[in-house]
């Protein structure tokens, strides 16, 4: 099932299959991603993205998630891609959500009209 939310740009949430043992990428659910373009420069344009998203841990144990976001043009061609751990090396508790902004990872490109995001990896971080 593919769910779509449309804001300033299109955004597609892609479902993942859960792994049988432990927490996998499929145990994390993308709840929202709100892409906007900001330009707060006075003398010359300096557009930048703000990609604020929220992810939920549906696993029975705490874990972190790596999310991949791809910026696509109107034909669906990938223009830019980036992946990262929104909670860094912290675990997200079972049932909890985590809000992140991956906008700074992308350079502004007027060809991008859609962002596609998906959890791609899960990791349980050990406490020091």
| Domain residue extents for the chain | 3-116
Three-state SS at 25 = helix
Q: What gap in Å lies between CA 15 and CA 8, rounded to an integer?
A: 22
| pLDDT value of position 128 | 55
* Overall size of the chain counted in residues: 128
Three-state SS at 7 = coil
Q: What gap in Å lies between CA 100 and CA 120, rounded to an integer?
A: 16
| pLDDT value of position 46 | 85
The pTM of this model reads: 0.78
Domain 3-116: which CATH number of 3.40.50, 2.60.40, 1.10.3470, 1.10.1220: 2.60.40
| Ordered per-residue pLDDT tens for the chain, 128 residues | 333 333 334 434 433 333 334 899 999 999 999 999 988 787 778 888 999 999 999 999 999 999 999 999 999 999 999 999 999 999 999 999 999 999 888 899 999 999 999 999 999 988 75
Q: Are strands 48-57 and 97-101 parallel, antiparallel or unpaired?
A: antiparallel
| pLDDT value of position 12 | 41
| pLDDT value of position 96 | 98
Residue holding tokens 């349980």?
124
| pLDDT value of position 56 | 97
| pLDDT value of position 1 | 33
């Amino acid at each position: 099932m593919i769910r779509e939310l449309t804001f300033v740009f299109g955004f597609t949430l892609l479902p993942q299959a859960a792994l049988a043992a432990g927490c996998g990428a499929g145990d994390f659910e993308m709840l929202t991603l709100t892409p906007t373009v900001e330009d707060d420069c006075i003398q010359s344009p300096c557009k930048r993205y703000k990609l604020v998203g929220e992810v939920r841990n549906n696993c029975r144990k705490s874990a972190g998630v790596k999310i991949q976001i791809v910026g696509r043009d109107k034909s669906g061609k990938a223009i830019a891609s980036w992946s990262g751990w929104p909670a860094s090396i912290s675990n997200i508790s079972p049932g909890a959500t985590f809000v992140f902004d991956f906008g700074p990872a992308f350079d502004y490109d007027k060809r991008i009209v859609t962002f596609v995001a998906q959890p791609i990896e899960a990791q349980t971080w050990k406490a020091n």
